[in-house]
Amino acid sequence: MRLKDKVAIVTGGATGIGQAITEAYAREGAKVVIASRRAEVGEAASQELTDQGYSVAYVQTDISRLEQLDNLVAETLSQFGQIDILVNNAGLVTEFGPFFECTEERFDKVTAVNLKGSFFLTQKVAAEMIEARRGGKIIFISSNVAQMAQADSAHYVATKGGLNSLVINLAGELGPHGINVNAISPGEIFVESAREWFEDPANQHRFEAIPLRRVGQPQDVAGAAVFLAGSDSDYITGANIPVDGGQLIT
C-alpha cells in the first residue's frame, strides 16, 4: 500500500506498459484514472480492476487533442478530488522508415502524442498540484533509443529525446513546489501489440545481446513507476531510469 490515498492519472493506461502501471498502482492503494483514446479498451480495463475492488476510472482522452486535456483533469478532480501522480505513458510507435522518407504528416502525428500532448497535459496537472500545495510526482515514459542510434526511427527518437530534456527542465522549474519529475527509459519490453516483431527471427540478435539475457516485461517498468511515485523516491528528481536489462551499456 505504498500509494495509499494517492490519485494517479496514467495516459495510455489500458494496454501494455500503461496497463501494468495502472494495475501496480491500484494494488499499491492508489485511485487511478486511465486516460485512453479507445473507449472499448479503456472501459474494459477499468471495469476489470473495479470488479476486483480497486478504485479505477476511465476517461476517454486523445492527448493529441489539447481540448480534451481539460476534461481529463476536470473529471479526475470530480471523481477523486485531487491529483498526486501523473504518468505520461501514451505514445505512438508507428510508421518507422528511413529518415529521408519521413513526411511532415508522419512527423506531426508522432510528435502530437509523444511530445506535445504530454507537454501540455503536464502543464495542466502541474498547475493543479501547485494550487493544491500537496507536491506531486510526474513520470515520463521515454525510451532508451533516445540515447542510441536506431535505424528508421529518427522522428520517434526525436520525440523521446525531447521528453528527456523536458524532464530535466521541469525538475528544476517544479522542484521548488515539491513536485518530482523523472523519466523511465524502457528497452526491449514485450507487449502483445508487437508480438510479431518480438517473434521475428531477424530480431533475435538484439535480445541475445542484452546483458540480462531476456526481453523485459511491462511489469518490469511498472516496478520502477511505483518507486518513482512513492515516498522512497522523494529526493530524486530530474533522473532517467533505464529499464532495459543493461542494453544501453552494450
- Residue 104 has which C-alpha cell? 511532415
- Residue 127 has which C-alpha cell? 498547475
Catalytic residue among 64, 142, 143, 153: 142
What letter does residue 30 receive in the DSSP assignment? Answer: -
Catalytic residue among 58, 156, 185, 233: 156
The residues pairing with 59 across neighbouring beta strands, listed in sequence order, are: 35
The answer to whether residue 185 is catalytic is no
The answer to whether residue 31 is catalytic is no
- Say how far apart CA 75 and CA 78 lie, in whole Å: 5
The answer to whether residue 156 is catalytic is yes
∠ CA 81-183-202 to the nearest 5 degrees? 125
- Residue 48 has which C-alpha cell? 476489470
**Residue 5: left if φ>0, alpha if ψ -120 to 50, beta else—which one?**
left
Please enumerate in sequence order all residues whose Cβ is within 8 A of that of 95, keeping only pairs 6 or more positions apart, or say none.
Answer: 106, 109, 110
Which CA distances in Å does 23 have to 47, 48, 113, 244? Answer: 12, 10, 23, 21
Catalytic residue among 54, 153, 160, 233: 160
Q: Give the closest residue to 224 by CA, choosing from 142, 161, 169.
A: 142
- Say how far apart CA 207 and CA 215 lie, in whole Å: 6
**Residue 216: left if φ>0, alpha if ψ -120 to 50, beta else—which one?**
beta
* C-alpha 11 chain-centroid distance: 7
Answer yes or no: are the C-beta atoms of 24 and 1 closer than 8 Å. Answer: no
**Could you give the residue numbers annotated as active site?**
142, 156, 160
